[in-house]
Amino acid sequence: MLKTLFPSLSRLRFTVQLVMLFVTVYGSVIVGTHMADKLSNALPALSCAYDQMNGGYCVLIPTQHILHHRIGEAMVRAQQLTFTMILPLLMSFLAFFAFFFVLGKAFCGWVCPLGTLQEMVGMIGRRFGFGLRRLEEGDLVAGRRVRPVKWLLLLGLVFLLPLLTGLGVTPHALGNPYCDICPSRVATTLLTGNTDQLALRVGDGWSFALGATADFLIGFMLMGALAIRQPFCRICPLLAFNSLFQRLSPLRLAKTQHENCGQCRICSEACPMDIQEISLHEGRKAYTEDCTLCGRCAEYCPQDGTIRLKWGPVTLFSSRREYYKNKVKGELPDGSVKPVRFVKRSEATDAR
């Protein structure tokens, strides 16, 4: 029967055309006359909006209407958006890139105050004989397993929650959640004698939770740094953010393969971030997203010229056997030094 009614594709097509002609011209008798009743306001067909009886509108009419009637309003809002958000954000990023181009991720290993405080606490721990705990591959919190945490913090606390708060989706207290839990906020203000940031805010539940998290993290960092090198750096979202642009800076560590690589593993032992790839690979593969360009791997590499700290084509520092021999006399690769031994006054008198 279908073959009788539609003996050819052309006949079928023409039949569909007739049906759709009725729908697009007189469709209001089926779907209704109001705009909300139409099949669509963006049909990919020339169903004219000037036809009051049609069943839908062509996509071109709302496109022209928006461009014609709303462009001015959009430009005003865009201007406000540009001056209040885009330009300040752009200037912040430009300033960031200007600094980052010069030092790259060395800001983490050389400039960051929180990184410096963790190293100082670690030095105290080594000096007073606290046992050093390195994160090996088999540990529950080994380096590779912890790495995703900083990316989750960057995505969730630095980008997603502030954006949702700005759009009115989440509470105002979640407008800058990472700053509210950042241990650097507490640590650096304490160094100035200001204890306000240590106090818990009880205005609402979110503020209290964020403040409690910050106090927990500063305690975790101070206690953990006595036995684990750079505990917070391993989950820091700024390290993740810097890793996104690490190839834009000429400052980098360069490693060439040596016959002893993968055997002595002194460079991995010296790394405060416990990066195992340094001793196993060469080139860019040797330095993962966790590298802070501290340069300790180059200091403790006993092979001449195997690891170099470079800025573009210029070598700033290169591993040397003689340097290594002198370095280990005062400090071992893992940061251990001769511990302080407390003696009783009577023992000190007898020693005299």
Query: What is the three-state SS of the chain?
Result: CHHHHCCCHHHHHHHHHHHHHHHHHHCHHHHCCCHHHCCCCCECCCCCCCCCCCCCCECHHHHHHHHHHCHHHHHHHHHHHHHHHHHHHHHHHHHHHHHHHHHCCHHHHHHCHHHHHHHHHHHHHHHCCCCCCCCCCCCCCCHHHHHHHHHHHHHHHHHHHHHHHHCCCCCHHHCCHHHHHCHHHHHHHHHCCCCHHHCCCCCCHHHHHHHHHHHHHHHHHHHHCCCCCCCCHHHCHHHHHHHHCHHHCCEEEEECCCCCCCCCCHHHHHCCCCCCHHHHCCHHHHCCCCCCCCCHHHHHCCCCCCEEEEECCEEEEECCHHHHHHHHHHCCCCCCCCCCCCCCHHHHHHHC
- The per-residue pLDDT for 348 is 44
> Nearest to residue 330, comparing CAs of 322, 341, 338, 320?
338
Decide: 192 and 279 in contact? Cβ < 8 Å.
Answer: no
Domain boundaries, the chain: 2-69, 114-241, 250-330
What's the whole-number mean pLDDT along residues 173-202?
A: 87
Rounded to the nearest integer, the mean pLDDT of the chain is 80
Place of tokens 């960057």: 154
Which region holds residue 315: left if phi is over 0, alpha if psi is between -120 and 50, else beta? beta
Residue 40 has pLDDT above 60, yes or no: yes
Which stretch of 23-32, 115-124, 230-239, 252-261 has the lowest confidence by average pLDDT?
A: 23-32
Which pLDDT tens digit goes with each residue over 340-351? 455 555 544 554
Q: For the segment 67-115, what is each residue's pLDDT rounded down to a tens digit?
A: 555 656 666 777 776 777 677 778 778 888 888 888 888 888 888 998 8
What pLDDT, on a 0 to 100 scale, did the predictor assign at position 26?
A: 78
For the segment 36-54, the average pLDDT, to the nearest whole number, is 64
Look at residues 350, 325, 152 and name the one whose alpha carbon lies nearest to residue 236. 152
- pLDDT(170) > 50: yes
How large is the average pLDDT for residues 117-130?
85
- Residue 114 to residue 232: CA distance in whole angstroms: 9
At 106 the pLDDT is 86
pLDDT band for position 9 (50/70/90)? Answer: low
Instruction: Between 256 and 83, name the one with better pLDDT.
Output: 256
Mean pLDDT, residues 325-332: 86
Report, as an integer, the average pLDDT of 162-182: 87
Task: Using alpha carbons, select from 308, 300, 307, 304 the residue that is nearest to residue 332.
Answer: 300
pLDDT, mean of residues 194-201: 86
- Between 20 and 161, the higher pLDDT residue: 161
Q: Is the pLDDT of residue 251 over 80?
A: yes
Q: Pick the most confident of 70-74, 259-263, 271-275.
A: 271-275
Q: Tell me what percent of the residues of the chain surpass a pLDDT of 70.
A: 78
Range with the lowest mean pLDDT among 11-15, 176-180, 297-301? 11-15
pLDDT beyond 60 at 141: no
